[in-house]
Amino acid sequence: MIVDLISLLFVGIRLEQEFGCVRVGCIYFLSGIGGSLFSLLFIENRVSVGSSGALFGLMGAVVAEIVPNWSKHEGKCPTFATLGVIALLLFIIGLFPHIDNFSHIGGFLFGTMLGYVFFIRPHFDWSKYPMAPHNRITDFTIDSSRKMCKMFLWVVIVVLLAVLYLVFMVLAFRGVNGNDHCSWCRSFSCAPSSHWNCGGGSNSHSICKYMIRGTTMLLTCESNQRSQIYSGTFSLSSIKEFCDELCS
């Protein structure tokens, strides 16, 4: 939480001073929703709360604003380095249990696209005015070819955002589990380790898949993907005990 607050101060103040609270607030809110929708596809049995997804959205928006206007930004390399350190730190923290890294990833992806939508600038042909200050643009001509390219990309991203929000909402309401299609993706939000239980802790129910043939059972823990074969007769309570042991 402290890291989130410090990061939000660093990123949010700079963006609000340059673009205003309305546009920054829209990106913060919408990227938070996008990160939560993305998280729902992979984390179904736990409640996830927090502002990290929206914070990653603001960092993605900074990237989307700087890259297309690379030649007009001063201090871009230190900014990228600082954002990289913050993002890497929060991502590593997200590898521990009970931290929703999928919200971070989804928030960053949505924030990057939203940043291009809300922070788009006209591309001025600075080469015609090499000695002119870049903060005075009233008398400058606009590079029409680059402007058209930017506007076309802007429309594409707006359509893509609308489609992604709609698709993710439909998949979430239908209960689609992304882990069924990407078994290793769960490691992004909880790295397998002998020091913790990715199934949710000792007070939660471990989740396992099992297949019984005669007196043999193949049991697979969904949180760490460990599998083991058991022999004997099995009841629901014994399967649960084996599952808790396998997932611990």
170 pLDDT higher than 80? yes
pLDDT digits (tens, 9 = 90+) for 220-232: 888 778 888 888 8
The secondary structure element, H or E, covering residue 112 is helix 101-118
Distances (CA, A) of 123 to 137, 144, 158, 173: 11, 8, 19, 41
User: Residue 33: pLDDT band by 50, 70, 90 thresholds?
Assistant: very high
Q: Mind giving me the DSSP string for 13-76? A: HHHHHHH-HHHHHHHHHHHHHHHHHHHHTT--SS----SHHHHHHHHHHHHHHHGGGGGG-SSH
The gap between the terminal CA atoms of the chain, to the nearest Å, is 27
pLDDT digits (tens, 9 = 90+) for 129-151: 444 444 444 444 455 666 777 78
**Does the annotation mark 52 as catalytic?**
yes
199 pLDDT higher than 60? no
* pLDDT of res. 159: 95
* pLDDT of res. 121: 63
103 pLDDT higher than 80? yes
211 pLDDT higher than 50? yes
Residue 51, both tokens: 């502002």
52, 103, 206, 223: which one is catalytic?
A: 52
**Does the annotation mark 36 as catalytic?**
no
216 pLDDT higher than 80? yes
31, 39, 103, 104: which one is catalytic?
A: 104
* pLDDT of res. 144: 64
User: Residue 44: pLDDT band by 50, 70, 90 thresholds?
Assistant: low
229: helix, coil or strand? strand
* pLDDT of res. 166: 95
Residue carrying structure tokens 């600082």: 82
pTM of the predicted model, to two decimals?
Answer: 0.68
Q: 50, 71 in Cβ contact below 8 A? A: no
125 pLDDT higher than 60? no
